[in-house]
Amino acid sequence: MAKIYDRVALIGLGLIASSMFWAMKRGGLAGEITGYARSDETRRTAREIGLCDVVYDDINDAVRDADLIVLCVPVGVMGEVMAQIADAVKPGATVTDVGSVKRDVIDKVMPHIPEGVHFIAGHPLAGTEHSGPRSGFAELFDNRWCLLVPPSGTAPEPVAKLRSLWEGMGSNVEEMDADHHDLVLAVTSHAPHLIAYTMVGVADDLGRVTDGEVIKYSAAGFRDFTRIAASDPTMWRDVFLSNKDATLEILGRFTEELFALQRAIRQGDGAHLHDYFTRTRAIRRGIIEAGQDTEAPDFGRGGNARK
């Protein structure tokens, strides 16, 4: 594919940033790719594995002269990081992010966007339970969705350019309103993560089932919960605090459904349980038919835990 940006700066060098680097290199989508991470150790690792063409020790050096700046930091510090780099961003540049909450990120970042700079919020719906600069791989975004949330009044050209980049990295791209995005993600990602954390926590607290038994006899359901619950704790803490209203709404609905199922079990209402489970199976079939998973076990990862 043709080069889309001359210079791209990745701020934060974890799973998403490292995968973006390898995907951009795979597709020849950027001229030079610079990087910055807060931790000395992360920067050292990035240099060691060849992640980014140049890794800077100063965040402003990393973003200077960049045509695209990608904020790959926890959503809780997006605004703070944008304030830090605002003076170094060149006019005409585009700033985007990869956070899984959009309304809060837009509200925190937009006040620090300089005149003549475009901000287009983004969220690639791709990831694994692994984090850090070594965890990335070029195929992470292949046939996954990336949602773009341009604030109203954003010029069409920078949006089209960013869309081309994500498509070049393998993603399907769609634009979405920030509040709707946050509600959709509360259903598809945020609440399920919280439920997974809770179930693993219950197993940990249940004294009558030993740690050894939980590990030794884990059936697929619990094993998948532990995979989700192994995700980065800082990132998920910030997600729940930043998407509080939508997450609480979905958790309220979840609690109502759970009470209804408890009642059906208590009353021996097999018909209710069967109907409910039949309905939920259809959603799984829809996900497979949409190409977002396979019928293979282990979340369609085919034994490769990185994907």
Q: Exposed, middle or buried by CB within 10 Å (0-12, 13-18, 19+), for 270?
A: exposed
Asked whether residue 96 falls in the same domain as residue 235, the answer is no
Asked whether residue 161 falls in the same domain as residue 202, the answer is no
- DSSP state, 295? S
Number of domains in the chain: 2
pLDDT tens digits, one per residue of 136-166: 999 999 999 999 999 989 999 999 999 999 9
Q: Per-residue pLDDT averaged across 236-259, rounded?
A: 94
User: pLDDT band at 127, cuts 50/70/90?
Assistant: confident
Asked whether residue 153 falls in the same domain as residue 12, the answer is yes
Asked whether residue 79 falls in the same domain as residue 185, the answer is no
pLDDT tens digits, one per residue of 192-216: 999 999 988 888 888 777 778 887 8
pLDDT tens digits, one per residue of 63-102: 999 999 999 999 999 999 999 999 999 999 999 999 999 9
Q: What is the pLDDT of residue 303?
A: 42
- Say if residue 249's pLDDT is above 70: yes
Q: What share of the chain has pLDDT > 90, as a percent? A: 75
User: pLDDT band at 228, cuts 50/70/90?
Assistant: confident
Asked whether residue 225 falls in the same domain as residue 199, the answer is yes
**Contact status, residue 77 vs residue 105, Cβ threshold 8 Å:** no
Indicate whether 38 belongs to any domain: yes
Asked whether residue 147 falls in the same domain as residue 254, the answer is no
Task: Tell me if residue 170 falls in helix, strand or coil.
Answer: coil
pLDDT mean across residues, the chain: 92
Asked whether residue 109 falls in the same domain as residue 137, the answer is yes
- Say if residue 3's pLDDT is above 90: yes
Indicate whether 107 belongs to any domain: yes
Dihedral (C-alpha) 262, 265, 268, 271: value to the nearest 10 degrees? Answer: 90
Indicate whether 291 belongs to any domain: no
Among candidate residues 176, 208, 234, the one where a domain is terminated: 176
Indicate whether 47 belongs to any domain: yes
Indicate whether 39 belongs to any domain: yes
Asked whether residue 61 falls in the same domain as residue 135, the answer is yes
Which residues are within 8 A (CB) of 125 and not within 5 positions of it... i.e. 6 or more apart?
Answer: 144, 145, 146, 147, 188, 189
Angle formed by the axes of helices 220-229 and 191-205, nearest 10°: 110
Asked whether residue 172 falls in the same domain as residue 187, the answer is no
* CATH at residue 206: 1.10.3660.10
Asked whether residue 64 falls in the same domain as residue 142, the answer is yes
Indicate whether 130 belongs to any domain: yes
Q: What is the pLDDT of residue 53?
A: 98
Q: Per-residue pLDDT averaged across 263-279, rounded?
A: 96
User: pLDDT band at 300, cuts 50/70/90?
Assistant: very low
Structural domain including 157 reads: 5-176
